[in-house]
Amino acid sequence: MAARIAELDTVVLRHDIEEVGLRKGDVGVVVHCYPDGSTFEVEFVTTDGNTVGVLTLTDADVRPVGRREILHVRELAA
């Protein structure tokens, strides 16, 4: 059974979204869950707090952060 995603959960992107410069593995926060339970508004921000994007994504696009994962930092392409 897949882990349930809730508002304010940290999630990991499953694939690149080139239109906004996001890459597989980038980390975002769920800011809204839709009633269907599999669609979410996810905010991605830089380390200085600037929003890269707030995207409507599904559980096919994001997954919960694993308990034994470590975060990695990369510079956002211009």
Every domain of the chain and the residues it spans: 10-64
The sign one gets for the Cα dihedral 67, 49, 63, 31 is positive
Q: What is the pLDDT of residue 67?
A: 92
pLDDT category, 78, cuts 50, 70, 90? confident
**Which architecture, in CATH terms, is 10-64?**
Roll (2.30)
For the entire predicted model, the pTM comes to 0.92
Q: What percent of the chain has pLDDT over 70?
A: 97
CA dihedral 39, 45, 50, 53 (to 10 degrees): -30
pLDDT category, 45, cuts 50, 70, 90? very high
Give the Cα-Cα-Cα angle 44, 49, 50 (nearest 5 degrees): 70
C-alpha–C-alpha distance, residues 56 and 14, integer Å: 14
